[in-house]
Structure 1
C-alpha cells in the first residue's frame, strides 16, 4: 500500500483515500498508534473538501482502532460517526458504527455496559446488510460479556463463518474459553485459548520483523488472559509454566531471516541521522519529510524481514534438564490482577504466590525517578536523601518480589523471565540479587536453546561515541583487559555508524560506550550516539552476523517500550532478535564513573574466562559499585 500510494494520483483527496485504507492494514497489524495518527491527518482533508461521508468513514475506522486499546474513547468516536452517517441518510454505515460503539461498551475495560436488546437488534441488522463478520464479532463480544458476569446464555456460542477475519476467529475461541471458565471447566478454557493462539501462530509465521512480531500480539490479549487465569487457578506449576512460556514465546517464536542489503534503507537512515544531529532544538520532528523518512524506513524493514520457520516451545521437563544443581529459574507470571513466580530447579517446580504485589506495584511508578536522581545527584546534602529514598524503595520491592523466590537450597545462579509489568526493574540493585549471578531471559525456551557456559572472547571490538565523560578511559580499560586479543577500536571521528556496524559484523564481543536514547513511540529508532549521529535499531539489519555478546555502556540502552501489556521492545531486544546471545545494558541512567569502573572490572573477569553474568556479579562485589547494569538473554 505504501509503494502503491503515488500511483493513486497527486490530489489531496486521492492520497487521503489511500491513507485511510493503509491505516486499516496498520491497525490489523497491531500498529494502532500509527493507524490513528494517519487517520487524524486525513480527516481534515475530507472536512476541507466538504466530504462528510468520507470524514465519517475515517471516524468509523478510528473507532475500530481505538476499540483495541481505549474502549471509552472508541465508544465516543463511534457515536459521533453514527450521528454523522444518519444525518447523511447512510443508515447502513450508521449501523456499522453502532456495532463498534456497542462492542466498546461490552469491553471488560469499559465502565459502562450495553443494552443487550440493542446489541441483538444491531447484530441482526448487520447480518441482514451483508456484514456477517461485524455481526459475528458483536454477538461474540456479548457472549464474552455475559460469561464474565456469570449470566446464562440463551443460545450456543455464535458460529464463526469460515470467511471471518483472523480477529473474529480468535474472538470465537475467546468466547468458548470464557463460557468454559464461567462453568468451572478450566481445562476446556485452556484448550480453547491454546487452539486460538495456534491459529494466530500459523498466521504470524510469515512475519520476521521484530516490529510486527511484537505488534500482532494485540490479537492474543484476550486469549492469553483467559489461558493464564485458568492456569493460575489450577495451582499446578507445570500448567502455569506452559502458559507463561506461551506468552513470552509468542513474539519471538518466528525465526527471522536476515534481510538482504538495502541501499535505500541505508540512505534513509543516513538522512534521518543528519537531520537529527544538525538540529539540537528538536524542531526536525515537525518536518513532514522526517515523518516520511521514518515511516519509509520502518515499512521497508517490515517487508524485507521474512520468517524462516517456527521455534518449538520448550516443555517444563526440557527446561529442567538444562538446569544444573546450582541454577534455578524464576518465571514471574502476571494474570492482569495477580503476580506469582514459578520457581523451577532440575528436581522440582513450585508456584510461589506474591501477595505483596499490590503494595509493590505502587512503588514502581516512582522507581525510575529515584534511579535517575541517584545517578545525577551523587554529592552534596541532597545525595543522602535521594539515596535513602531509593534504598527504601528497592528494599520493599525486593521483599515483595524476590525474598521468598530466591530461597532455593544450593542455587547460586538464577534465570529470570518477567512480564511487561516488571519491565525496567533494576534487578541487580534489589538486595536479594546484589552480587549474585543472574540473567534476564526473554523466555525459558530461548535461554535453554543456547549452550551453557560458553567462553567469551575471540575477536573483540570497542567503539566510543562523542561526549562520554570517561569514554576514552573506559575504552582503555577494556582494551587492557583484552590486550592478548588485539581488540579493534573505533574512537573519535572514526566511530561512525557505518564503521561500527561493520565492526559488529566481524567480532564476537562488542563494547559500545556512548550516549543512549530510547524512542518510546518507535522503539526500533532507539539507539546510541556515534560520531555522525544515532545508530538505530534498524541499523542492525545491516549487520549480517551479530556478535555473541554485546556490552552497551550507554544510559537507557536497556530500556524498553511495552506493547500490548507484555512485549518489551528496545535496543537489547533488537540485538537478541538478530541473534546475539547476551547483552549487558542498563534500563535507566547510569553515572559515568559507575559505568567506567564496573564494566572495566567486568571485562577483566571475562578475559579471565568467567561467563558474562558471573563476571558482572563479581565486578560489582569487587568494586562495591551498585549499578543497574544487568545481563539480558543467556548470560551463562
Structure 2
C-alpha cells in the first residue's frame, strides 16, 4: 500500500526561495528519489539554522525541511533518529512557549511531527507504535495543514489495513480521498483510491481489488512501483504466480532505480513466495535471503523477522522433499523448529499475528516431521482456529497443519473435516473469480491440501474413498465461470488488434525465426494477450453448484449402463493410481511410477508429429511409426490393469498430463468407444443427456484447408436441414453464436494450441482466429462440438495441475462432448474419418462408438493412426 509523509507549505515572502527548494525536495521524496531530496535539503537547513525562531513561518519551513530530511534519511539509511530528535525538541520548545504565552508558534507542528513518527514506525513494521502516533496526529487534525491531514489519514489507513481492521481503514482512506480531492492533491487522491483497492485484497475480493487499482492508476499516469508491488500481491493471492513474479521483479527494478532498498526487499519477499508456490524452494530461499540482507542493512528488524520466516519456510520445503528422514535430517528439523519458535515470538511482539501463525504452523510441521510432538491435542488447542482474514495460502497451511495434528492425535475423522474445511475455503475463494484464467490459476494454492486428502483416502485402501477424494479436488477446480467480461468494447478492440497481428505473422512464416519483424510481432502479441487477460481478471464470479461426484453416484449410474466402465486415474506422490468402476463394483489399481509413463506419453506425441508431416523422409517416417507402436504398447502394459478387462464403453476421468494419454489409440481400445472426461461430475451430468435428434446441425470451414469446404458441405449434406458455413460466412462472431446454441457444431479449420498461453489456443476462421478466451459460457451450448482441426485437443498443465486448451474450455462452458485431435491431423484423413463418423452418428450411433468405428476402419485401410479423441461425456 502507499504510505506517505510531509507537512505543509510556508508563506513568508522572505522565505520564498527556501520554501520552493523544500517543496522540490518534498516532490522528490514523493516520487521516490530520497537521496536527491536529502542533497537539496541540507543547504536549506544550514541557511534556516542561522535564522531566529521567532517567526512562525520560519518554524514552519524548518519543520517541513526537517520532516522531509527525516523521510529521505529513513528511506536511504534506515534511520533518522537525529533529525527526528530535533523535531521533537521543536515540539517541546513550542509547547513551553505556549505555556508561557510567549508566542503562538505554528499550530500544525505537533500533528505533523506525530504523523511523521507514525510514518516511520509504519515503514519499520512497528504497527502498534505507528497507530499510537497516528491516533495522536489525527486527534489534532483541526490544527494540521491540509496536506498533513491527508497524509496522517492515509498512513493510519495503512496501519489499520495491516492489522486487518478494514472498516477503520476504509473510513480513513475515504476521508483522505475527500480532503485530497477538495484541495487538489492529485497524488494523495491516487494513493487513497489505490489503497482502497488493496482493502479489497484483504477482504478476498480480488477482481474488485484489481479493478480499483487499475482505475486509480488511470488518474495518475506514470511509473508507480508501489502500485506494481500491490498489484503483484493481488496476482499472487489469485495464483497467477508467473505474472506476479514478473510484476514483483519490475517493481523491484524501479524501486532500485529510486534507491529504496526497503521496498526492493518487500519485492524480493514477494518473489520468494512466488518461487515457493511453484515448488522452487531453492529460489525461494535465495530471494528471502536477499530481502533479509536488505532489511538488516537498514535496521528494519521487524522485516528481518519476516524475511527469516521466508527462509525457514524454504528450508522446511527442502527438508520435506528429502528422500529419507534419517537422524541427521531430524536434527535439521529440530533446528527449523527452534528458529521458527523464535520467529513466532518476535512476530507476536511486533503485532503481526498472521506472520506468527505461519511461524507456528512451520514449528508444528517441523516437530511432527521429527516425531517430537508429544501432545498433539494440546498443540492443536494452542494453534487455535483458522482466522478468516488470513490470506488463502496461510489459511490452507493452517488447515493442513491442523489435520496433521488430528492424525497424530489419532482422530482421523477430525483430520478429514479440517481438510474439507480447507477445500471449502479454496472453493469459495476461487468462486469469486469470473475469469477462467484466475480460477484455474488459484488451484495452485490447494496442491498440498489435495495431496493430504488423497493420502488419507489411499491409507484406507477403499477405492470409493480414493475416487471421492480425487473428485473433491476436481470439484474445487471445476465450475463454469464466465471466461471473458460480457460486451467489453476495450477487450473487443484488443482482440481485433491481436487477430491482425496473427495475420501479419502468418505472412512472415517464410522468414527465419531470428527475423526482427517476427520478434516484434511476437512481443506485441504477448503484450495484447496479457492486456486481454488482465481485463478479464476484473470479472466477478459466482459460487456454482459444483458439488463433487461420489462413488455411490457412479455405482447407480453404471447400473443403467451395463458393460460400461469408468476409470478414474490420478498421480499421487510420483505414482499413478486408477480406480476402475463397473457394475461389479470398484477396484483400486496401482499402475506404477509416473515418470516413465509420462515419458512414453511425450514420445508418442512426438512420433505423431513426425508422422503428420508430409515433408518427412520415408525412412524417418518408418522409424517414427515403429516408435509409435512401441510407445502405445508400453502404455498398454502400464495401463492394462484398468483398460484391458473388456467393456464396450470406457470413460476415462483424467486431469493434468494424464489427460494427454492417447487412450483411444491404445491397442486394447481400437474400435471400442472411449471417452476422456474432465471429471466424474461432467460425465454424470452429460452422459445420455443429448436429444436423439439434434435441434440443429451446422458445419463450418475456415480458410486454408485443402478439403475444408468440401468437408463442411459433406457433413451438412448428411443431416436433414443442416447448414454449411463456408468462405466469408464462417466468421468469429457467427461461430461464437453457434457455440452458445444447442445442437451439433462441426468445424473444419486450422487449429493451434498455445502451450505458453493456452487460453489463446485458436481455430482459424474467415476473419481471423477464434480464441478459447472468447468462449463465454452463456446461453445453451451444443451437446456436441466436432473440431476437425490440428492439435486443439491438447492442453497445457498449469501450476496446480489444471489443464487448459481449446477443448477443455469448451467443456467448461457446458458443451457435453468435444471431438478434437491431440496431434496434427492431415486434411485427407480428416475428411474421410469425419464424414464416416457423421454417417454413423446420423444413423443413431452415439459419438464415441461412431468415432471409434470410423478411426478403426481408417486404420485398417491406411495403416495410419488417427489422433482423434472424444472429450467430455458419451452423448
**Aligning the two structures, in what range does the TM-score lie when normalised by the shorter sequence?**
over 0.9
Measured against aligned partners, the alpha-carbon deviations of 1:298-319 in whole angstroms (never above 9, x if no partner) come to: 2332333531532222321222
- Structure 1 residues 2-41: aligned runs within 5 Å: 2=211, 3-7=214-218, 9-12=220-223, 14=224, 16-41=225-250
Counterpart selection for 2:626 from 380, 383, 388: 388
Q: TM-score normalized by structure 1?
A: 0.92
Aligned to 1:630: 869
Separation in 1, partners of 2:241, 2:593: 34
Measured against aligned partners, the alpha-carbon deviations of 1:237-271 in whole angstroms (never above 9, x if no partner) come to: 11111101112222114665995333332222111
Counterpart selection for 2:698 from 455, 461, 474: 461
- Structure 1 residues 425-574: aligned runs within 5 Å: 425-452=661-688, 454=690, 455=692, 457-482=694-719, 484-491=720-727, 493-506=728-741, 508-541=743-776, 544-574=779-809
Separation in 2, partners of 1:199, 1:350: 31
Counterpart selection for 2:294 from 84, 91, 94: 84
Separation in 1, partners of 2:603, 2:755: 18
Q: What 5-or-longer segments of structure 1 have no aligned partner? A: none
Aligned to 1:159: 384
SS in 2 for 1:309: coil
**Is the alpha carbon distance of 1:106 and 1:265 closer, same or farther for their aligned partners in structure 2, counting shifts above 3 Å?**
same
Give the deviation of 1:177 after TM superposition: 2.2
Give the deviation of 1:327 after TM superposition: 0.8
Q: What 5-or-longer segments of structure 2 have no aligned partner? A: 1-209, 323-328, 509-516
**Is the alpha carbon distance of 1:456 and 1:61 closer, same or farther for their aligned partners in structure 2, counting shifts above 3 Å?**
farther
Counterpart selection for 2:353 from 123, 132, 136: 132
Aligned to 2:134: none
Separation in 2, partners of 1:357, 1:79: 34
Separation in 2, partners of 1:191, 1:542: 33
SS in 2 for 1:590: coil
Separation in 2, partners of 1:451, 1:390: 32
Contact 2:446 2:800 (C-alpha < 8 Å) held by counterparts: no
Query: Are 2:472 and 1:261 equivalent residues in the alignment?
Result: no
Query: Are 2:436 and 1:210 equivalent residues in the alignment?
Result: yes
**Is the alpha carbon distance of 1:542 and 1:278 closer, same or farther for their aligned partners in structure 2, counting shifts above 3 Å?**
farther
Contact 2:701 2:749 (C-alpha < 8 Å) held by counterparts: yes
Give the deviation of 1:294 after TM superposition: 2.6
Separation in 1, partners of 2:308, 2:301: 10
Separation in 2, partners of 1:349, 1:110: 32
Aligned to 1:325: 562
**Is the alpha carbon distance of 1:39 and 1:241 closer, same or farther for their aligned partners in structure 2, counting shifts above 3 Å?**
same
Contact 2:482 2:776 (C-alpha < 8 Å) held by counterparts: no
Counterpart selection for 1:250 from 468, 471, 476: 476
Contact 1:519 1:525 (C-alpha < 8 Å) held by counterparts: yes
The structure whose RCO (Cα within 8 Å, separation 6+) is larger is 1
Contact 2:575 2:594 (C-alpha < 8 Å) held by counterparts: yes
Counterpart selection for 2:467 from 218, 222, 241: 241
Aligned to 2:458: 232
**Is the alpha carbon distance of 1:125 and 1:256 closer, same or farther for their aligned partners in structure 2, counting shifts above 3 Å?**
same
SS in 2 for 1:583: strand
**Is the alpha carbon distance of 1:599 and 1:185 closer, same or farther for their aligned partners in structure 2, counting shifts above 3 Å?**
farther
Separation in 1, partners of 2:769, 2:374: 57
Separation in 1, partners of 2:681, 2:625: 37
Query: Are 2:272 and 1:63 equivalent residues in the alignment?
Result: yes
RMSD: 2.5
Aligned to 2:395: 169
Aligned to 2:342: 121
Choose 568-577 or 543-552, whichever is displaced more: 543-552
Query: Are 2:547 and 1:312 equivalent residues in the alignment?
Result: yes
Query: Are 2:659 and 1:423 equivalent residues in the alignment?
Result: yes
Aligned to 1:414: 650
Separation in 2, partners of 1:142, 1:230: 22
SS in 2 for 1:511: strand
Measured against aligned partners, the alpha-carbon deviations of 1:10-29 in whole angstroms (never above 9, x if no partner) come to: 232x2x21111011001111
Separation in 1, partners of 2:853, 2:531: 45
Give the total of aligned pairs: 629
Contact 2:579 2:586 (C-alpha < 8 Å) held by counterparts: yes
Separation in 1, partners of 2:586, 2:360: 41
Choose 501-510 or 48-57, whichever is displaced more: 501-510
**Is the alpha carbon distance of 1:269 and 1:258 closer, same or farther for their aligned partners in structure 2, counting shifts above 3 Å?**
closer
Separation in 2, partners of 1:131, 1:519: 43
Give the deviation of 1:284 after TM superposition: 4.0
